[in-house]
Structure 1
């Protein structure tokens, strides 16, 4: 990877999330792991979840294995997280997956993409709401992608699922704001994560290009570091954003 500049670590506000209890789905690696790390550094107690722990999973988080592709799996995961934390204040719906399909996308792939990229967030949130409603400073951030606006054909199923996530997030924000629960969305550009980079390399290769050539088109001169969206998500979860609800924040290097 080449870039004209690099991520510059920012200072964490000491105790910013002290006493807050957070659940981060898809938290074993990449963006989810960076979010968990950022919240822990700010004082939060965090449960991360994915199907398997990875080397990047923060060791000082509580990891709970789970599969969010079913309603029962989502409920069990949230119940275990609430038991481990003693309650819930913050929720980051980051779980997601994208597989490239050149040609016709199988029906099963549409169903799987909707399950993990959209319905997982709906189901986790529904299961978490009783605990979130007991929190005086509850906040939810849903993680989407710029692909939702105009997905390339090989990612039509992924883009459609994320577009549904954004539409639902807007509705959920209106529903929950009167209860004091803030809901916001981050819409991400290209971020250098294991899954994201592999996906980009596959797409770029099909166009006869390299990932570096695609990254070079980003106006701010570099691909995203997982800590870039983590900072944006931490802001939206924090009291600094206490009057922000129903927003959709683009975090994409100006792309």
Structure 2
């Protein structure tokens, strides 16, 4: 039996798609036959033929509008939107360290880019009666770390709730909305963190990984999730093979979340 995902010629936008799981998702979609646009604040000067790059700051309304305009102008429409952008710059120290400014940064980084891009790109999806939106959340909205991820986790929880509401509104119009909730992903940044922790603790890289896994309460799989594994899940979910899947959240965390 062939397992062609049916993505040939589909027009996709991946935010935060130059590094880590975002870059892996862009590559996977392109390999499956999609025409892919990637946006980030800093991008390569030239595309690869199947991947085009758009430089923009999605933390602003103007940046989101610019991306939407360029995608529509380049592709003539959009079939797939993968909102990968996210992250945290909040300081450790629990609730007392989170000023109004820090809270706003987390919301601007982890919620508003998805909200704004959906708002400007959904009309073209609705007009064609088809499309898929993936919002990448995080298991942190279920397992926040009080010392360091309270604001990030809250922003991702807001993204998750918004996604569910959006799916109920637009699924009857032919637009699927799906959430993907990763655990710890072994990106370059994660490797650097593990190496730093390992050095501070006088251990090796595997020991550094164990420090991180222990802070999460353990990962039954015994390792972080790989960027390509997250990308493969996203690629399946945006394909016609997943045509009946909408409004749900798919956790990919190696078993970190201890409940179903």
The TM-score, its normalising length taken from structure 1, stands at 0.86
Which one of 174, 179, 186 corresponds to residue 180 of structure 2? 186
* 1:105 correspondence with 2:98: yes
DSSP-derived class of the 2:137 partner: strand
Alignment map for 1:66-215 (pairs within 5 Å):
66-103=56-93, 104-153=97-146, 154-198=148-192, 210-215=208-213
Q: Does the 8 Å contact 2:126/2:173 carry over to 1?
A: yes
The TM-score, its normalising length taken from structure 2, stands at 0.85
Alignment map for 1:28-67 (pairs within 5 Å):
28-53=18-43, 60-67=50-57
In 1, distance between residues paired with 2:182 and 2:111?
15
> What is the alpha-carbon root mean square deviation over aligned residues?
2.6
The unaligned stretches of length 5 or more in structure 1 are 1-11
Give the total of aligned pairs. Answer: 243
Deviation at 1:234, TM superposition (A): 0.9
CA deviations on 1:206-225 (whole Å, 9 max, x unpaired) are: 99973234348321232111
Q: Does the 8 Å contact 1:38/1:234 carry over to 2?
A: yes
Deviation at 1:75, TM superposition (A): 1.1
Q: Does the 8 Å contact 2:17/2:26 carry over to 1?
A: yes
Deviation at 1:204, TM superposition (A): 8.9
Change (3 A) 1:110 1:198: farther
CA deviations on 1:134-175 (whole Å, 9 max, x unpaired) are: 334310100011011131121111111000000000000000
DSSP-derived class of the 1:133 partner: helix
In 1, distance between residues paired with 2:167 and 2:63?
24
In 1, distance between residues paired with 2:245 and 2:51?
27
The unaligned stretches of length 5 or more in structure 2 are none
Q: Comparing 57-66 with 192-201, which one deviates more in the overlay?
A: 192-201
Q: Does the 8 Å contact 1:89/1:132 carry over to 2?
A: yes
In 2, distance between residues paired with 1:182 and 1:74?
21
Deviation at 1:106, TM superposition (A): 2.9
